[in-house]
Structure 1
Amino acid sequence: MSEVRPPLPPFTRDSAMQKVRAAEDGWNSRDPQRVSLAYSADSRWRNRATFIRGRAEIVEFLTGKWRRELDYRLIKELWAFDGSRIAVRFAYEWHDDSGNWFRSYGNENWAFDDNGLMVERHASINDLPIREDQRLFHWPLGRRPDEHPSLSELGL
């Protein structure tokens, strides 16, 4: 039985936006197993300079990520889409175990199979040290509230 993860390509603007929000919600759960299910069993990633293949490596990578990046909160925004591909920009805030805060900015390019599973993810990310009083993402851990401003509305 094949896995299906709607919305499916080819994407419209609305379905691409739904896919982006679903990805944001998944990552804000900080549940590596849950997040991995949005990707094909043999999904290929480039995350910064780390290369990942398959769900087991995705779970291992995300487990370590959220062990280091504490109080992680993410906003994703649709940049472009075409057929089975979506490009997003994103920012997330987090702190390390010494209490140093960061805002990480990046872009991702995604490719999906016919069942809506992500088969490729290419992420470029830069980290900006910030003071705690410069934080912009203050919702309780978990899903970003619908009324919270987007990246564009925040001027990011």
Structure 2
Amino acid sequence: MSRPPLPPFTREMAAQKARMAEDAWNSRDPVRVSLAYTEDSTWRNRSEFLVGRPAIVEFLTRKWQKEHDYRLIKDLWGFDQNRIAARFQYEWHDDAGQWFRSYGNEQWEFDEHGLMRRREASINDVKISESERRFHWPAPGARPADVPGLGTDPK
């Protein structure tokens, strides 16, 4: 199975890869997301460590049962050969209706087929009020073209 674009990445290819990941994650479909990873992909997500697609599907299923109305934006931060660094923000609310904005960065390593074999994510959650939300497109679904990326705003 191949998942273009394939390494070594150009800036445009790396940005495309980040946007493809964003679109997949915004689908909130754990199986769809897992297909971008190798069968034995290794993850560190916060303090949780995973190995393999079944673990990825289980993790994402659990994640999106907790994180309601999830909307994510990813931006390319850097790249080299078969590695990409991305930063992201996503918004969601819990069962009690408390909204959060989660900030983070990821380091990705790809195999020669364009599948991610390693993902390391560091994430922090900040409570926000519903009026502070920035991401308002219909979910689940891809970010519309008229919704800007993260740009240079660190908040």
For this structure pair, what is the TM-score category when the shorter chain's length is used for normalisation?
Answer: over 0.9
- 2:132 is matched with 134
User: CA offset at residue 150 of structure 1?
Assistant: 1.0
Task: State the secondary structure of the residue aligned to 1:11.
Answer: coil
Unaligned runs of 5+ in 2: none
TM-score after normalising by structure 2: 0.97
Does 1:115 find its partner at 2:113? yes
- 2:72 is matched with 74
Partner Cα distance (1:155, 1:148) in 2:
17
Unaligned runs of 5+ in 1: none
User: CA offset at residue 149 of structure 1?
Assistant: 1.3
- 1:144 is matched with 143
- 1:17 is matched with 15
Aligned residues: 154
Partner Cα distance (1:82, 1:112) in 2:
11
What is the percentage of aligned positions where both structures have the same residue? 65
Partner Cα distance (1:146, 1:110) in 2:
25
RMSD value over aligned CA atoms? 0.9
Superposed CA deviations along residues 71-126 of structure 1, whole A, max 9, x for unmatched, are 00000000000000000000000000100000000000000000000000000000
Distance 1:121 1:57, change over 3 A: same
Structure 1's consecutive aligned runs of 4 or more residues displaced over 3 angstroms after TM superposition are: 153-156
Does 1:53 find its partner at 2:51? yes
TM-score after normalising by structure 1: 0.97
User: CA offset at residue 152 of structure 1?
Assistant: 1.4
User: CA offset at residue 6 of structure 1?
Assistant: 0.3
